[in-house]
């Protein structure tokens, strides 16, 4: 059966057919015209050919892994099981995860561990900067788990990390992928004052799916992070990303893109949601690469300066190229 259409799945679930008919549906499904829930579940997780990838490994990858290990550092690449880890490591790019490896939130699509976390480590900014320097990075990406337990949400450590990197590598470009700091505008201002080259904050999905996908987040609050950045630091390009395949409709995606443009977002990433484990939300749909290409063209037509769109695209994918294209 071509692709997996989320609507089909729901139709079966929502209509309370009397049991005999339900049985009929399941038996009927046996003939391949429809799928019952379990078949759908199994099929959902079976990746299409375009999501199968041979993973090159090599000295660069091992070098980066060793540096991260020595520095007692976390990379979101490893924690979030990013499919591009080999490609990025081999291009000497990595995204550093600061503020611990446990998040105070529990987004249903995210592989990162969640729960209480210890106090921020004041030495971490220097260690990140050391590692970035020894890796010879020219484009450094800093992100973090969400620390709703901290008064400034960890903004202070973001600022210190940018400053420590600049101390060692004045020409390095720094992109930060921040949480929403629970709408704490002083925290946002403090981070922007440290002068990142790109401010990234992901919407992750469309507003209708927030309650199931990221229940502790608020769609409007996330839009305001980008809007306030545009107001406080108009020279800093803003960036955001959405995963496709969680059950969103094309109309919902288009409205979300319009909302992003409405708050002055310049750079967009669109990628395929992949289920980290059975405990996480199932994939509702695998989006074909041609459809991603169509979204890239549409988003550029709509007004984004730069768009990365594809099954393997993630927040930091080809981040340096996207930034340089915006700046050129």
Q: Site residues (CB under 6 A) for ligand SF4?
A: 103, 105-107, 110, 112, 114, 145-146, 179, 214
**CB 27 → ligand SF4: shortest distance, Å?**
41
Both tokens of 24, joined, read: 């009929």
- Please say which residue, 214 or 320, places its beta carbon nearer to ligand SF4: 214
- Please say which residue, 146 or 161, places its beta carbon nearer to ligand SF4: 146
Q: What Cα–Cα distance (Å) separates residue 261 from each residue in 176, 232, 258, 266, 304?
A: 20, 17, 5, 7, 7
Q: How far is CA 141 from the centre of its chain?
A: 13
Query: Helix 155-168 to helix 185-193 angle, to the nearest 10 degrees?
Result: 0
> Cβ distance 145 to 103 under 8 Å?
yes
- Please say which residue, 47 or 114, places its beta carbon nearer to ligand SF4: 114
**CB 67 → ligand SF4: shortest distance, Å?**
22
**CB 13 → ligand SF4: shortest distance, Å?**
26
- Please say which residue, 64 or 217, places its beta carbon nearer to ligand SF4: 217
- Please say which residue, 146 or 224, places its beta carbon nearer to ligand SF4: 146
Given the structure tokens 């995963």, which residue do they identify? Answer: 243
Q: What Cα–Cα distance (Å) separates residue 39 from each residue in 12, 35, 181?
A: 13, 6, 41
Beta strand segments in 9-78, E:
74-75
Q: What Cα–Cα distance (Å) separates residue 248 from each residue in 41, 84, 119, 162?
A: 17, 24, 37, 35
**CB 203 → ligand SF4: shortest distance, Å?**
11
**CB 328 → ligand SF4: shortest distance, Å?**
31
């Amino acid at each position: 059966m071509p692709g997996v259409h989320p609507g089909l799945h729901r139709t079966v679930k929502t209509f309370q057919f009397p049991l005999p008919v339900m049985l009929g549906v399941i038996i009927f499904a046996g003939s391949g015209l429809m799928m019952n829930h379990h078949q759908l579940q199994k099929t959902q997780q079976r990746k299409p050919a375009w999501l199968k990838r041979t993973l090159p490994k090599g000295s660069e990858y091992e070098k980066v892994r060793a540096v991260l290990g020595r520095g007692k550092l976390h990379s979101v690449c490893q924690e979030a099981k990013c499919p591009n880890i080999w490609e990025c490591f081999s291009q000497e790019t990595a995204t550093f995860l600061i503020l611990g490896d446990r998040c105070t939130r529990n987004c249903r699509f995210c592989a990162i561990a969640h729960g209480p976390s210890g106090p921020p480590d004041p030495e971490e900014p220097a260690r990140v900067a050391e590692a970035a320097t020894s890796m010879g990075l020219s484009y450094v990406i800093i992100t973090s788990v969400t620390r709703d337990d901290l008064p400034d949400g960890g903004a202070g450590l973001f600022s210190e990390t940018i400053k420590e990197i600049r101390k060692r590598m004045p020409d390095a470009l720094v992109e930060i992928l921040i949480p929403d700091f629970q709408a704490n505008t002083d925290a946002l201002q403090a981070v922007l004052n440290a002068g990142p080259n790109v401010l990234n904050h992901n919407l992750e999905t469309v507003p209708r799916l927030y309650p199931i996908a990221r229940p502790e987040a608020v769609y409007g609050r996330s839009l305001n992070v980008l809007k306030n950045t545009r107001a406080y630091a108009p020279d800093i390009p803003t960036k955001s990303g959405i995963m496709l395949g969680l059950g969103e409709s094309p109309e919902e995606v288009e409205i979300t893109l319009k909302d992003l443009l409405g708050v002055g977002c310049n750079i967009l990433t669109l990628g395929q949601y992949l289920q980290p484990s059975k405990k996480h939300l199932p994939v509702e749909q695998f989006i074909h690469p041609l459809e991603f290409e169509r979204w890239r063209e549409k988003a550029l037509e709509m007004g984004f300066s730069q768009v990365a769109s594809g099954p393997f695209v993630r927040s930091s994918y080809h981040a340096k190229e996207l930034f340089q294209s915006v700046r050129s």
